[in-house]
Structure 1
């Protein structure tokens, strides 16, 4: 399928999250899908949701992005249906695709809500879409995907804008001394070596740092899970903070598109505790979320694919 095959609908594809306390464990069961995770780790992650009100803001934030995308497309009279489908919770991908099929969509732009591609952040979502199409049978729309956009000028400028929000919370002398640290979700080393994930993250970070006029920066990983004996991407953000030779850090979660639980707990609670214990002031930049430049980027991609 050509990179810009003309589409008549958009499917925003996300991870999903529980919207109330009684959904947390069924959601985690869905995410794990039978993988052997120690019970203590399972309960630890469930407790993260308890600390954040017994729910995840992920679905709400993704719906807000979808609403902003609709409004941006309306400005240029690009009229295409937009549905949101989640891999791990309601509204599921298959239900969103059924809605689009019922509306007459025959070719859909699948916009996976992850800027940097790995098996976990891209191929697994494509596989879920393929399963959904199989369930829908002959009436299932075709699904095409945009080209990588991790280095799109509007995306990296939106990230830089969010980073500036964090730097602005520092007093002027601190700003020039603060260490810029980018973070992304850690993945198994073997998975990372099989795809462009690290290369794309590094490209994004380098462009953002240049936009900020900063030469010295670091990259760290967060939210590691899985077997502790397996090799995952490092360094971990907590160890990075402990080893800093400065007393101020600005952390930019460039690998995440909204402030969901892995940002709110792993950075705002866990990493922040480590920073306080080390006597380091840590300011965390917001994710791009519904930043106007990010939404404008999404709209430009949709418009390039729309009929």
Structure 2
């Protein structure tokens, strides 16, 4: 049995908190990876439409505080620091704070249920860079097992989907197609990970929980070179060609309602649905749903207590 952890690092994507941070934030995200200039400006516009900032940091901090409260209810006190890969507070600063407080073994909880190079390995690499910068004072990092199929994650997602179905009238509810979405990634990246496999398993388990036999998986928020193959079908194409006039869209690949959900689904995909004559309801992400918070707290508890 490995030694118990004495602190927790919650690692997230990060987001700009005001308008003048949007472009520096996007430059951080790209870090030398090519993006067509037209697409870059489109993304800037998405932030402008939503008030020039992202709610990601605030929502992740809210999740972390809810985890602290859940742990306190179990009489577990453990330092929890939140660090972002692409914006302040950066992972390096968060890890330094834990090290300065005496942490020697840290649970690294990356806020991504489905693992790929972009959603998992880049975070690990950033954490390792932070450890290198700390030198001999760097704590050891331990990571949890995959949780894309954790019963509480599935239950929290299913609860959000039930709420979305309930917002449809009875007739539309009976006809609504269940469509799960996740961030598209390059096909080459997907082939070297379990990303699609894990997404498919999550979607299947949620559909089973809901008693829905037929469902589909779509992708959104593509941002790379048009020359590269990315995961398909795109959510817009699915909605445009839907064999029904109603759909419940579930952003299962996202853990909070940040810009790629609020714009790419609530603005862009919603307009496509309207143009296609489809009544679309978008399920909330798990966010601070009590069962999702309990899932994180239970994973933390297993790593920090005897």
Q: If the TM-score is normalised by the length of the shorter chain, which range does it land in?
A: over 0.9
1:56-67 aligned within 5 A: 56-67=54-65
The residue number in structure 2 matching 1:194 is 192
Match status 1:212 vs 2:178:
no
Q: Distance in 2 between matches of 1:36 and 1:78?
A: 45
Deviation string 1:175-217 (CA, Å, 9 cap, x unpaired) is 1210000000000001101010000000000000011110011
The residue number in structure 2 matching 1:53 is 51
The residue number in structure 1 matching 2:34 is 36
Contact 2:10–2:83 under 8 Å retained in 1: yes
The residue number in structure 1 matching 2:129 is 131
Contact 2:36–2:224 under 8 Å retained in 1: no
Of 280, 301, 304, the match for 1:303:
301
Q: Distance in 2 between matches of 1:36 and 1:204?
A: 31
Q: Distance in 1 between matches of 2:83 and 2:3?
A: 21
Q: Distance in 2 between matches of 1:262 and 1:5?
A: 38
Secondary structure at the counterpart of residue 18 of structure 1: coil
Q: How many residues align?
A: 305
1:55-94 aligned within 5 A: 55-94=53-92
RMSD of aligned residue pairs (Cα, Å): 0.8
The residue number in structure 2 matching 1:185 is 183
Q: Distance in 2 between matches of 1:172 and 1:160?
A: 19
Match status 1:166 vs 2:164:
yes
The residue number in structure 1 matching 2:101 is 103
Secondary structure at the counterpart of residue 124 of structure 2: helix
Q: Distance in 2 between matches of 1:159 and 1:261?
A: 19
Q: Distance in 2 between matches of 1:42 and 1:181?
A: 27
Residue range with higher mean Cα deviation, 167-176 or 77-86:
167-176
Deviation string 1:85-119 (CA, Å, 9 cap, x unpaired) is 00000000000001001111000000000000000
Q: Distance in 2 between matches of 1:136 and 1:301?
A: 26
Shift of 1:41: 1.6
Q: Distance in 2 between matches of 1:29 and 1:5?
A: 39
Contact 1:5–1:144 under 8 Å retained in 2: no
Match status 1:233 vs 2:263:
no
List alignment gaps of at least 5 residues for structure 2. none
- Normalised to the residue count of structure 2, the TM-score between the two structures is 0.98
Shift of 1:173: 2.1
Shift of 1:5: 4.2
Q: Distance in 1 between matches of 2:65 and 2:237?
A: 38
Secondary structure at the counterpart of residue 131 of structure 2: helix
Secondary structure at the counterpart of residue 299 of structure 1: helix
Of 12, 21, 41, the match for 2:10:
12
| Over 4 Å off, 4+ runs | none
Contact 2:19–2:48 under 8 Å retained in 1: yes
Q: Distance in 2 between matches of 1:107 and 1:117?
A: 23
Secondary structure at the counterpart of residue 99 of structure 2: helix
Contact 2:5–2:304 under 8 Å retained in 1: yes
Shift of 1:225: 1.0
Q: Distance in 2 between matches of 1:182 and 1:38?
A: 27
The residue number in structure 2 matching 1:112 is 110
